[in-house]
Amino acid sequence: MTSLSTPRCFWLVRFAARETAMDPSEVEFLAEKQLVKIIPNFSLDKIYLIGGDLGPFNPGLPVEVPVWLALNLKQRQKCRIIPPDWMDVEKLEEMRELERKEDAFTPVPSPHYMELTKLLLNHASDNIPKADEIRTLVKDIWDTRIAKLRLSADSFISQQEAHAQLDNLTLMEINTVREFLLDSLNCMYKLRSNLQPGSRKGQLTDY
């Protein structure tokens, strides 16, 4: 039988570039555009950048800057970072309880809450009170939401829904299941289209 191999094998070339999910560090990169308050210890006039104007910086006066700049300044010991309002043990505890109670996804404090937590806690943990508790709480919230996401994905598949709403989901959350979910939905779509007979005739004449 081997002598009768299909001619297709000779046509094997790298052909399709598959759409893949973003890398988490790319999502993190996007998160670095979020604003955060810092207290600088130097003075500098307003600086004008393509992405927007920054400053002016005065020692002791809080100013809002993107996270990437805040971290750079922090690493060079030129500022103190003020954690965002939501990065607070009590608020996060409330949020965690709510998230556990509700079946649907609850609104998150920041579209990049996971990335910001990681960035700020890793590089400026000395500026954030109760950093360890915050880390645990955010991770709890994340785990709860991911479990929910999986549950809803399963019910979505088993009930063969046609569309789903992704309200209140963050980019990072979607990103972790994106590849898997999309591939699964594609498969299911194709298996479902098997159910509709009729296109079969046209198919056969192709060969």
Partner 1 sequence: MFVTDIRKDFYEVVANQRVALLVAADIDALCACKILQALFHCDHVQYTLVPVTGWQDLCTAFLEHKEQFRYFVLINCGANVDLLEMLQPDDDSIFFICDTHRPVDVVNVYNDTQIKLLIKQDDDLSVPSYDDIFRDEEDEDGDGDDSGNESDGGSEPSGKRRRFDEGAIERRIERQRARREWEARRREILFDYEQYEYHGTSAAMMFFELAWVLTKDTKDMLWWAVIGLTDQWVHDKITHMKYVTDIATMQRHVSRHNHRNEDEENSLSIDCMRISFEYDLRLTLYQHWSLYESICNSCYTSCSFKLWTLNGQKKLQEFLADMGLPLKQVKQKFNSMDISIKENLRDVIEESSNKYGMKDIRIQTFGVHFGFKNRFLAGDMVHAAAALLESTERDESDTTDNFIKALDSLSRSNIEWLHSGIDLAKKKLLAIQQTVASCICTNLILSQGPFLYCYLMEGTPDVKLFSKPLALTLLCKYLLRAFVHSTRNKRCKLLPLVMAAPKDVEKGTAIVVGIPPESETSDKKNFFGRAFEKAAESTSSRTLHNHFDMSIIELKTEDRSKFLDALITLLS
Partner 2 sequence: MDTQSYCPVPPGVGMEENFLSLDDILLSHERLPVRTECVFPRLGFLEKSSDTQDIPEATKMELPLWLSKGLYERKRKVLSVELPKVYREGWRTVFTADPNVVDLHKMGPYYYGLGSQMLHFDSPENPDIAQALLQTFIGRFRRTMDSSQNAYNEDTSALVERLDSLEKVLFRSGQNGLNSFQSWEKGQASQLTASSLVLNYRKRKLADVQT
Interacting span for partner 1 (CB under 8 A) from 20-28, 71-79, 106-114, 161-169: 71-79
Among residues 97, 115, 94, 95, the alpha carbon closest in space to that of 170 is found at 115
Does residue 81 touch partner 1 according to CB under 8 A?
Answer: no
The contact set with partner 2 (CB under 8 A) reads 1, 4, 6, 8-9, 11-18, 21, 23-26, 28, 118, 122, 146, 150, 153-154, 157-158, 160, 172, 175-180, 183-184, 186-188, 190-195, 197, 199-200, 203-204, 207
Residue 86: Cβ-neighbour burial (10 angstroms; 0-12, 13-18, 19+): middle
Does residue 132 touch partner 1 according to CB under 8 A?
Answer: yes
Q: How many CB atoms lie under 10 A from the CB of residue 68?
A: 16
Does residue 78 touch partner 1 according to CB under 8 A?
Answer: yes
Does residue 76 touch partner 1 according to CB under 8 A?
Answer: yes
Does residue 91 touch partner 1 according to CB under 8 A?
Answer: no
Radius of gyration (Cα) for the chain, nearest Å? Answer: 25
Does residue 125 touch partner 1 according to CB under 8 A?
Answer: yes
Among residues 110, 117, 111, the alpha carbon closest in space to that of 133 is found at 117
Work out which of 95, 131, 169, 172 binds partner 1, going by CB under 8 A. 131
Report the residue count for the chain: 207
Residue 76: its H or E element: none
Work out which of 130, 156, 175, 178 binds partner 1, going by CB under 8 A. 130
Interacting span for partner 1 (CB under 8 A) from 27-35, 96-104, 129-137, 189-197: 129-137
Work out which of 51, 52, 56, 129 binds partner 1, going by CB under 8 A. 129
Q: Would you say 165 or 196 has its CB closer to partner 2?
A: 196
Contacts of 207 (CB under 8 A, 6+ apart): none
| DSSP states of 4-15 | G--GGGGG----
Rounded (5°) CA angle 97-101-107: 75
Cβ atoms 200, 206 nearer than 8 A = no
Binding site residues, partner 1, CB under 8 A? 75-78, 121-122, 125-126, 128-132, 135
